[in-house]
Amino acid sequence: METLDTIAAVAPHIPGYVIARPLGQGSSSTVWLATREKDGARFAVKCAKAGAAGGLATSRAEVLADANREMRLLSQLKHKHLIRVHEILHMGGAAEGTLGIVMDYAAGGSLANLMSARGKLTVGEAVTILTPIAQALDYLHANGTEHGDVSPGNVLFTAVGMPLLADFGVAAKVGDKPHDLGVGTPGFMEPGSESPVNGDISRDTIQPQRDVYALGAVGWYCLTGTTPEQEQDRPPLSLLVPEVPKALAAALEAALSADPRKRPSAKELGTAIFRSAAPEALDLSGAVHSSVIPELLTRREILGRSPRRATRSLSRTTRWLKIWWRLLPFTRGRALPTAEPGHRRSRRPGGGLGRRLVLLAVTGVLIGAASWILWQQNSTTTAMVKQAAMESGVADPGEAAEAPHGLDQTDAQDLPAALATGLQSEDPLVAVSALSAVRDIALGERRLDLLDLVNAPGSQAEATDKQVSDYLRDAGTAFVGLHTALTALTVEGPAQSDHVLVEVTAATSGYEERLVSGAVVRTGAAGTPQQLRLDLVRSDGRWRISGILDAGPAG
Ligand SMILES: Nc1ncnc2c1ncn2[C@@H]1O[C@H](COP(=O)(O)OP(=O)(O)OP(=O)(O)O)[C@@H](O)[C@H]1O
């Protein structure tokens, strides 16, 4: 697999999108990070390479046919752990005549990148990755589809570390033409893929057992750092990695059976893996592009391993983050929610910003883990958590939740009249109180689009609140009851200016972090009053917050 450093492809012209950087390259395509011009949303665009060496398609017509086929296949499938495809585009510039598949951007990179950075993963991390991918495979198989290339390059992660299965370039549906032999990634294909296996499993039907083998091989690779040998040459997994629980070793070894009939189904494999050990938050730090680090929430490194380095790498934005987030006090020392009794709880993080980031990060991952792996559990508690997760959209962090009760409505018209008027006030002191109240509503009711009314476009304040709102979207929660009281307001700067500093003392109330179902996942204590200087700018006749400067503790 090529790394980003070795990608020499010329950026294509994609109508309606601005290309940011290459994300990766496979045998048949290059994948680019692209921003949609109309709304700034980010996507990954997979651009086929005509005549790609090693790919299945060797002519332009074949490339087009393959892209169309992959798009068609993916558009019929919908699962929280399958990458979603949005549209297929005709490319311009150097790529004229080819197609681009626009899909969800997986900011956490691929398992291949993670393994290059880490070498091996922990048992808990492997469980976190393998269980949801087994779920996705179970879904595919139940829908008559074989993925055909389950491998580290095709397991991607969202910014909160949720695994997604990608690349349906060689996937097959029931009734499709038989696979070309030898497709897939070496090391992760069942032995004998280059020749028919066990006569009774014919090549003119899909073979889910091949995906099960591949997932077993991915699991082996995660734990040992190497791909599995053939059955007769393979040492027991527990010899290579003594800390692997017996049940996990047995599940992976069964998946790697040479005889496909001895392999478990994807569902059985997922169940066995899930029951073998507690899932653990992924440490993706060190495996992603530097520009992704600020949005990466699964950063245990901040927590304990190398706090200084991690905090430094968050760079300047953290100063703004630190100040604004001080308005969201997270409870000290309270246990974070976990879905399963006995599953690992978060460790107590260190202090300051790292603590807040990590609390968010670990909460996100554990809540996420709860939904990814709540699959075969049958206890009432689990069912309730699962229900809550589904209702809240936590079950699908990559997708905006269909929030009931009018949450997420973007229309400012249903704001209380006094607030709507306050937002339009020429007086920055009136406006700033309204801005703060609207921000409380945005975070308290998860009406996150209201933040557009609060923060100046392109400002540090906007960037900071985006981190908070991304967290709430991903977690499917709101900070219910949050109220920010602003007192001792004074304006610095000329009265008529379009840019003023407002000095305030800000104090936040206690609040509950709740799922849309109403379930409380965490409580936050009231914050110590902070003296802040809010940087306000006025445009289109309205004041918005552009930045927040720390003026120290109040009093
Ligand atoms: N949605 C995405 N978000 C972020 N990165 C992605 C995304 N899709 C792909 N990538 C990156 O691009 C790489 C290549 O993508 P992909 O595997 O789909 O290409 P391919 O040409 O079909 O590969 P191959 O045929 O060799 O399996 C991935 O390994 C990953 O690093």
pLDDT level of residue 527 (50, 70, 90 thresholds): confident
Which range has the top average pLDDT, 171-175, 386-390, 533-537, 548-552?
Answer: 533-537
Calculate mean pLDDT across residues 271-279.
Answer: 90
**pLDDT beyond 60 at 224:** yes
Distance 462 CA to ligand 1 centre (A): 31
415 or 130: which leads in pLDDT: 130
In this structure, of 205-209, 297-301, 533-537, the range with the lowest mean pLDDT score is: 297-301
Query: Residue 159 is encoded by which pair of tokens?
Result: 């910014």
Residue 462, amino acid: E
CA-nearest residue for atom 21, ligand 1, is 26
**Which atom of ligand 1 is least distant from the CA of 52?**
21
- Cα-to-centroid distance, 88 and ligand 1 (Å): 16
Does the pLDDT value for residue 520 go beyond 60?
A: yes
Q: Which residues pair with 42 in a beta bridge?
A: 35
Q: Is 43 in the pocket of ligand 1 (CB under 6 A)?
A: no
Q: What is the pLDDT of residue 352?
A: 35
| Residue 166 in contact with ligand 1 by CB distance below 6 A | yes
Indicate which atom in ligand 1 lies nearest the CA of residue 1.
26
CA of 207 to the centre of ligand 1 (A): 23
Is residue 31 within 6 Å of ligand 1 at its C-beta?
Answer: yes
pLDDT of the residue at 336: 26
Predicted ipTM of the assembly: 0.96
Cβ pair 283, 300 in contact under 8 A: yes
Distance 295 CA to ligand 1 centre (A): 21
Residue type, 375: W
Mean pLDDT of 488-495: 76
302-336 confidence digits (pLDDT tens): 333 333 333 333 333 333 333 444 444 332 333 22
The structure tokens 């296996």 sit at 197
Compute φ and ψ for 17, nearest 5 degrees: -130, 155
| pTM confidence score | 0.57
pLDDT at 237 over 80: yes
| DSSP for residue 284 | -
Give the tens place of pLDDT for each residue, 446-469: 889 899 999 998 887 888 788 788
Determine the pLDDT at residue 179.
Answer: 53
67-106: buried (b, 16+ CB within 10 Å) or exposed (e) per residue? Answer: bebbbebbeebebbbbbbbbebbebeeebeebbbbbbbbb
3-class DSSP state of 29: strand
Query: Do 500 and 428 contact (CB within 8 A), yes or no?
Result: yes
The pair of structure tokens assigned to 95 is: 């790529």
Question: Does the Cβ of 29 fall within 6 Å of ligand 1?
Answer: yes
CA of 241 to the centre of ligand 1 (A): 29
Q: Whose CA is nearest to atom 4 of ligand 1?
A: 106
CA angle 178, 181, 184 (to 5 degrees): 105
